[in-house]
Amino acid sequence: MKMPIERSEGRQPDLMILPLERQVFSGATMGTRYSAVFYARGDAVRSGLNRDLQAAVDAVDAQMSTWKPDSALMRLNRAPTGIWCKMPEELFTVLAAALEIGRLSEGAFDIGVGDLVAAWGFGSQAASSDQKWPDAKTTVARRPAHLCLELDHAQQRVRKLAAVTLDLSGIAKGFGVDELASVLMAHGVEHFLVSIDGELRAAGGKPEGSPWRVAVEKPQTGHRAVEGVIELSEGAVATSGDYRHFVERDGIRYGHTMDPRHGAPLADGPAAVTVMAATCMGGDAWATALLVLGPGTGAELASRQGIEALFIDRLPGTAPDAITSFQSSKEN
């Protein structure tokens, strides 16, 4: 059957089908920037999409920042033990996920390291030259956050069972990426790639059928270079490493990732771990946990949990030039 097509002859059609157009929005959040690349019909600015994207990440920052004294997280940090504290929905969601991953990783991912982050000069108060640092060689017995907090899911409340200072830097940006994705989907956008500081989530591939191509950064200081490329149509990719954020003291470099097992910055771990997951929040947290555990124990845990992860060694040439699949879960 032939499709009936009439010439318009100046008449207005009842329905105009606009082509998908590539659009890009970006903005400031959490001390860095977010980016949203997507395909949509018409002017997304007029639809309020740019406003909604910014509002979503602003809400995450307002609730979970350790740099804002009035954030919901900092109010919880100041709360005494034994007192139930009502949480905003987003913060409660992140706390619940963080504690569960903390339990599954046996404390390798621990949001209760806020005191360590501050002590080592990575917090809102930058380290001074005369600051007395902890001894990195001294093992400190610590109680992980999943044993220090109790959650009331019915009433969305949290209370401390023991003194603990929370820091969500290993999961909040991933959650922010998921929030960007939720906004786009709520606006009917089916093809997108969103990111915050290298943590990203994709959906739909590109309209012509090709996947999004995502670069895995080479773990080195100085200039940026690509270690490999992942082709992604659906899902999230998150990376944790110590090659971008670090401090130096007495000629020794200390990365920003804390090892909760020793109460000090991680030493002798892989340069980076990249995780593919359904959500960026989960990928963000698991990348940190596996970085702490390293390629031996970490790869075994990834396999048991069904997590797809790539461990990038510090030695040059140990990773392939083009990455088309992850290897440390279902294959091992």
Coil, strand or helix: which one is 77?
helix
Whole-angstrom distance, CA of residue 183 vs CA of residue 180: 5
| Six-digit token string for 75 | 């109010």
Instruction: Provide the 8-state DSSP code for 92.
Output: H
Say if CB 232 and CB 325 are below 8 A apart.
Answer: no
Determine phi and psi for 36, rounding to 5 degrees: -130, 115
- C-alpha distances (whole Å) from 29 to each of 75, 177, 299 are 20, 11, 32
Determine phi and psi for 288, rounding to 5 degrees: -65, -45
274 is an annotated ligand-binding site residue: no
Please name the residue that has the structure tokens 């510090």.
314
Say if CB 179 and CB 55 are below 8 A apart.
Answer: no
66 is an annotated ligand-binding site residue: no
170 is an annotated ligand-binding site residue: yes
Count of all residues that appear for the chain in the document: 332
Question: Which residues partner with 252 through β-bridges?
Answer: 249
Say if CB 237 and CB 268 are below 8 A apart.
Answer: no
Whole-angstrom distance, CA of residue 219 vs CA of residue 165: 30
List the binding residues for Mg(2+): 170, 284, 288
List the binding residues: 170, 284, 288
